[in-house]
Every structure is written in C-alpha cells, then in structure tokens.
Amino acid sequence: MCGIVAYIGEKPARDLLLEGLKRLEYRGYDSAGIALLNGGLQLAKTAGRVRVLEEQVESDDRFSGCMGIAHTRWATHGEPSDRNAHPHRDDAERGHGIVIVHNGIIENYEALKTYLSDHGHVFTSDTDTEVLAHLIGHFYKGDIEASVRQALKEVTGAYAIAVMCAEEPGVLIAARKGSPLMIGVGSNEYIVASDASAIVAHTNRAIELDDDTIARLTTDSFRTSDLENVTITPQMRELEVDLEQIELGKYPHYMLKEIHEQPGAVRRCLKGRLAASEGRVVLGGLAEFAREFGRTGRVVFLGQGTALHAGMIAAHLVEDLAKIPSRADFASEFRYRNPIIEDGTVVVAISQSGETADTHAALREASRKGARTLGLVNVVGSTITRDSDAGVYLRVGPEIGVASTKAFLGQVTASVMLAVWLGRRRFLSPSDASTILEHLETVPDHIESVLRQSDQIASVVSKYVQRENWLFLGRGVNYPVAMEGALKLKEISYIHAEGMPAAEMKHGPIALIDEGMPVVVVATRSSQYEKVRSNIEEVRTRGGHVIAVATEGDESISRICEDVFYVPDVPEPLQPLLTVVPLQLLAYHAALLRGHDVDKPRNLAKSVTVE
Ligand code: AGP
C-alpha cells in the first residue's frame, strides 16, 4: 500500500505535505514525490525515503503555494525509481498539467494504456497510475472533476486518488474505491490523506469517503458525489487518534514503543467489556446479533500474517471454550476456494488495518454466500469494519511499526472475549467463564513482568544473531505463537525462520538441525508439556540450541535448554498473550543487532491493500 496526502487551504502546503508523508511513511517507503500548484506546476519525485525528497525541495522557493499533493510509495507496478515515483502527470507536451497520486491497483491498466498509446499518448513510467493520469487528460475538456469521473468509469481495480490540474488552480479532486481515503475538514482548508495519522495535527473533524465517491474541494467549499454526479451527503466524524499516540516519544522505534504499550493496550481492549465475577462479557458491537450468534454452528476466522496467527488461536479458543466447530484460514486462499458456507456459519475477519485486500475480499465472499460476518479490527471506520455485519474494535491505538505487536495482543484478547461470549450462550458455565475472565484481567500486569526481561533477551539473541536459520516450535494454542515468533524474526531481521507444531519437526524439518542451530520452543506448563520436553530432547541430541519460553518456577526446563525466558503462569487459553512477548523482543533485538530498520523493513508495508 502507499500513503497519499493532499492539501488545499490558506497555509503554505510544502512543509505540511512533507510532514504528512512522514506520518504515512509506514504505509510504503521505496520512493516519494510532491506536486504544488502556485501559478505554475512544480513537481519533484525520487526513489528513497521522504527525507530524500525533503532535501530536494525544502530550500527550493519554486515549491511554494497553498495547494498540493504528495505520495510515499510501496511499489506494485514498476520498480522503485525516480520515474515510477508519484505524482504522475498527463502528457507533458499536449497535456493540461494534470497530476495525480494514487494508492491501489488499476487492474485494466494495460488495455487502457494500449488505447491511449493508439491515441498518441506517450508514457514515461511503468506504472498503472500514469495511465490513469493520461486517461483523465484524454477526457479533459476544461472540467477536472468531470474528466476524473469519466476516467474512473473506465477503470477496474482499487484506487484512492488526489488530482490537481494546472488549468484549474484552486480545485482539488479526491476519489476512492477499495482503498482508504479520509478528508480532514479544517477552517478554510482540507487535508486529504490515506489515514488519520496525517490529519490529526490539523483537525479532528474528518469525512471517511465511501467507495465510488468523488470529492471536489476548494478553499471554501466541498462537495461529494457518486460516479453519476449525484450529490452524496458525507458523514462527518470526530477522529479518536491524538498526536501523542502517533509520536515516538521516548522510544527509539515504534515497534519497541508498541511492545511496551501492550499492557495498556490489553487494558483498553478489556475496558467496559468484562463482568469477570459474573462470568460475563459485554460486546456492544454484537448485541444486535446475540441470539443469532448464539445458535452459531461454525466459526471461520480469516486473516493474513499476524492476523491469521491470531485467528488460529481464536479457532482453538472457540472450540475449547464454546464447543463450536471452528477453524482459521488464509483469507487469500478462502476467497478463491469457492468455500462451502453452511447455514449458521459466522465468518470473522481479523485485521489491524481493516484494509488488507485479501481479508476484505474473503469477507465479501463469505457474505455473498450467506455467512454472518464479524470484524475484529483496530482502525475505526476502515473498509473491513464497514463491510462487516458486526464487530469488535481492538482499541489498542494506532499501530505504526510494520511488525504487528500490540494489535496481535488486541486480536487475541478480543478472541478470548468472543470465545467466552459465545461459550456463555452455549455450555460454558458462569464459574468457568469467571475463572478465565479473572485471569484475563491479570494479563496486563503479567505482560509488564515479561517486558522487564528485555535486556536478558537481548543478551541471549546476541549469541545466535548471526545464525541464518531458526526453528520455532509450539503445541496446541502455542503453535500459532511459534508461527508468530518466526514471522516477527523474518520480517525485521531477514533471518529465515520457520514456525510449526512441535511434533511436525520430526516429519522433515529435523533434518535442518545442525550444531548450534537456534530452536525456540514454547514450553509452558500445558496439557502437552511432557510432549514438548521430548521434542526439546530430540532437538538437543542433534546439536540444536534450545531457547525455551517456560512457566515461572519451572526450574527443570533450564537443565535441558541453553536459555529460558520465563512467563507467569496463566490458564492455557491465555498463554499466547504472554508467550508471544519474549518472541517479539527477540525479533526486535535481532533486527537491531543486524543493523536493520526495525520500523520500515525492506519490501514490506504496514498494510497490504493490494492482492
Ligand atoms: C505482521 O507483523 C505483518 N505486518 C503482516 O503479517 C500483517 O499482520 C498482515 O499483513 C495483516 O495485516 P492486517 O492485520 O492489517 O490485516
């Protein structure tokens, strides 16, 4: 995904746009660009981070004016380069000075490019976005809004765009379909952005554009309409994000900040939702469907990456606590499998951003087949929340680090509450529910105690950080934790790591184990504890070095492992909320020791809003 920001108002736009790009840079960071209208069109774009662009324009007086658009890119079509960076424009010679920034994918761009080339258009990049700029120029007859509308009717795919035209200074066009776009409404100014992080510094009033909506903005007016030019009354809302939540504060990296925010994040996720002594969970977002969900015959959890790992835990919890058949699946696989959806099936989309294209598409497929759909999502008003029948917001606050941490804990916390909520409508007794919920309330304090081991974890990591292959093993509800630990290490340290059920190791991966290979094993007190100990022995007899995550007080485990990270004892269903924390810190310290950019790892973006 990419980050787009645009401004029209009475303030100088350049620095405001560059600041907005820095707040959106977690969405994509391989190249960046800016365009300003100030009597003429000034455009600069470059491969590299926003700071490279800033160095190019910050002292260039030509980049003045109170209206502009800007972009930070995660490449989909065309490698990261100056020429493929946004903004893109229509034909430099014959054009009208139409410039555009875009987040999404124009799926039929090749056919459009052929048509436009046949009509004399000359392209300078490999991107789908440049084709859209030329298409708008092709239809332009003096009204930029009308030409954008006409062009978008020819487009299939997803877009969030901001468009300006040198022949119509003072008019900014924004439009969206399938990719997020918000408009911050200030005093005689509008800030268009991919998400609230680029808006909250200027205003807390915003409009969330719906799909197939076009906005026409001037310094003193705005109008929203559909592709048939029928006026749409937009929904204004108050942004719940504040600057402190998206500032780094005392931390060196967002990932470390968000790891340390986890106790508070879990408390916020729980707040107002538990009556633990009564064994009751209150999920206001599900109230409308309480009876229907109470008769649920099957629950399917969908997600990608970390969210899928949370879904795997959620499926385990729902079967364990609510005795409802449940499974988790890659959203990207589910959506194309022509899935069988029986009556009474509830499909739950898990997503931090609420914008993951595959997860959204899978949710829509499930809905088309008659499933009731739920969203366990962090970002309020995001696409998945808007297309779900009901949902539970994670409430963990904005997550900026590309490697998801506190959102994972929010997803698992929400899943525990959902499992108890469903269970209490089935066979889970008030006392059993109360036991789980009372332990759940202690989790934030327990996370605090695990976080205090950060230096010890860093010291252990330093022994193995040069090893290029790691295994992560776990059983039961801790098997997805092993998967999550492997993903964290892979995505920020670039070390190859594989997570799997501990028993699976003997069916092939054990061949990988050589002298000193680091093998992380989640070995907490659990129903399969003795089996896990056997797996540890199997690793050690082949020379592997075991780093265990174990239950406080279990001294015996330290006699068979090289290193042990201890977590407080909680009931097995709640263990992932604690066992994942040492693995997050392990990955963080490994990435630091290997000199990588923890918050903006190579090739990644915070949310994958394209297939
Ligand atoms: C996790 O650290 C990754 N950043 C990635 O796997 C992420 O969890 C996945 O892309 C899903 O994103 P979502 O939760 O926003 O849908």
On whether the CB atoms of residues 85 and 31 are closer than 8 A, the answer is yes
Residue in 86, 46, 94 with CA at minimum distance from that of residue 68: 86
pLDDT tens-digit map of 69-89: 999 988 877 888 999 999 999
SS3 504: helix
Is the beta carbon of 385 within 6 A of some atom in ligand 1?
Answer: no
For residue 609, name the pLDDT band (cuts at 50, 70, 90): confident
Is the beta carbon of 361 within 6 A of some atom in ligand 1?
Answer: no
Distance CA 161, CA 172 (A): 10
Distance CA 105, CA 103 (A): 7
Q: What is the mean pLDDT of residues 285-299?
A: 90
For residue 170, name the pLDDT band (cuts at 50, 70, 90): very high
Distance CA 413, CA 304 (A): 18
More confident of the two residues 607 and 257: 257
C-beta neighbour count of 507 within 10 angstroms: 9
Atom of ligand 1 nearest to the CA of 488: 2
What integer pLDDT is reported at residue 241 of this predicted model?
78
Distance CA 402, CA 153 (A): 34
Look at residue 610 and tell me whether its pLDDT is greater than 80.
no
Look at residue 25 and tell me whether its pLDDT is greater than 90.
no
Residue type, position 91, single letter = D
On whether the CB atoms of residues 104 and 360 are closer than 8 A, the answer is no
For residue 605, name the pLDDT band (cuts at 50, 70, 90): confident
Is the beta carbon of 286 within 6 A of some atom in ligand 1?
Answer: no
DSSP notation for 43-99: EEEEES-HHHHHHHHTT-TTS-SSEEEEEEE--SSS-SSTTTSSPEES-TTTS--EE
For 210, the enclosing helix (H) or strand (E) is none
What integer pLDDT is reported at residue 39 of this predicted model?
85
Is the beta carbon of 304 within 6 A of some atom in ligand 1?
Answer: yes
Mutate which of 348, 404, 494 for ligand 1 pocket (most atoms within 8 A of beta carbon):
404
Residue type, position 35, single letter = A
Q: Where are the alpha helices (DSSP H) in 250-394?
A: 254-260, 262-270, 290-294, 305-317, 331-334, 357-368, 383-386
SS3 480: helix
pLDDT tens-digit map of 111-166: 999 999 999 999 999 999 999 999 999 999 999 999 999 999 999 999 999 999 99
More confident of the two residues 472 and 241: 472
Q: In the Cβ-directed half-sphere of 175, how many Cα atoms lie within 13 Å?
A: 27
For residue 544, name the pLDDT band (cuts at 50, 70, 90): very high
374 Cα to the center of ligand 1, angstroms = 18
pLDDT tens-digit map of 470-507: 999 999 999 999 999 999 999 999 999 999 999 999 99
What integer pLDDT is reported at residue 245 of this predicted model?
83
602 Cα to the center of ligand 1, angstroms = 15
Residue type, position 38, single letter = N
Mutate which of 376, 484, 491, 608 for ligand 1 pocket (most atoms within 8 A of beta carbon):
608
On whether the CB atoms of residues 271 and 600 are closer than 8 A, the answer is no
Distance CA 243, CA 248 (A): 10
Residue with CA closest to ligand 1 atom 6? 305
Is the beta carbon of 352 within 6 A of some atom in ligand 1?
Answer: yes
220 Cα to the center of ligand 1, angstroms = 39
Look at residue 424 and tell me whether its pLDDT is greater than 90.
yes
pLDDT tens-digit map of 145-155: 999 999 999 99
575 Cα to the center of ligand 1, angstroms = 21
Q: What is the mean pLDDT of residues 515-536?
A: 97
> For the whole model, what pTM was predicted?
0.89
Backbone angles phi, psi at 491, to 5 degrees: -80, -15
- Start-to-end CA distance of the chain, whole Å, equals 10
Atom of ligand 1 nearest to the CA of 356: 16
Look at residue 300 and tell me whether its pLDDT is greater than 90.
yes
C-beta neighbour count of 416 within 10 angstroms: 26
How deeply is 484 buried, as exposed, middle or buried, from its count of CB atoms within 10 A (0-12, 13-18, 19+)? buried
Q: What is the mean pLDDT of residues 49-64?
A: 94
What integer pLDDT is reported at residue 233 of this predicted model?
92
Give 63's contacts (C-beta < 8 A, 6+ positions apart): 14, 34, 36, 42, 44, 57
Q: What is the mean pLDDT of residues 234-257?
A: 89
For 473, the enclosing helix (H) or strand (E) is strand 469-474
On whether the CB atoms of residues 299 and 328 are closer than 8 A, the answer is no
On whether the CB atoms of residues 599 and 400 are closer than 8 A, the answer is yes
Look at residue 93 and tell me whether its pLDDT is greater than 90.
no
Distance CA 166, CA 161 (A): 17
Q: Please report where in the chains the tokens 């239950």 appear, as a residue.
A: 551
For residue 220, name the pLDDT band (cuts at 50, 70, 90): confident
Is the beta carbon of 306 within 6 A of some atom in ligand 1?
Answer: yes
What integer pLDDT is reported at residue 242 of this predicted model?
79
Atom of ligand 1 nearest to the CA of 404: 2
350 Cα to the center of ligand 1, angstroms = 10
Is the beta carbon of 332 within 6 A of some atom in ligand 1?
Answer: no
* β-sheet bridge partners, residue 205: 238
Q: What is the mean pLDDT of residues 275-287?
A: 94
Q: Where are the alpha helices (DSSP H) in 424-468?
A: 430-440, 443-451, 454-464
On whether the CB atoms of residues 487 and 604 are closer than 8 A, the answer is no
Look at residue 32 and tell me whether its pLDDT is greater than 90.
yes
Is the beta carbon of 359 within 6 A of some atom in ligand 1?
Answer: yes
Active site residues: 2, 606
Is the beta carbon of 125 within 6 A of some atom in ligand 1?
Answer: no
Q: Which residues of 206-230 are buried (b: 16+ CB within 10 A; e: fewer)?
A: bbbbebbbbbbbbbeebebbeeeee
Atom of ligand 1 nearest to the CA of 353: 15
The pLDDT mean for the chain works out to 95
Mutate which of 353, 415, 611 for ligand 1 pocket (most atoms within 8 A of beta carbon):
353
Look at residue 216 and tell me whether its pLDDT is greater than 90.
yes
What integer pLDDT is reported at residue 92 of this predicted model?
84
What integer pLDDT is reported at residue 257 of this predicted model?
97
Distance CA 72, CA 21 (A): 6
Is the beta carbon of 610 within 6 A of some atom in ligand 1?
Answer: no
Residue with CA closest to ligand 1 atom 9? 305
Is the beta carbon of 255 within 6 A of some atom in ligand 1?
Answer: no
Distance CA 324, CA 301 (A): 13
Distance CA 232, CA 213 (A): 8
Residue with CA closest to ligand 1 atom 5? 305
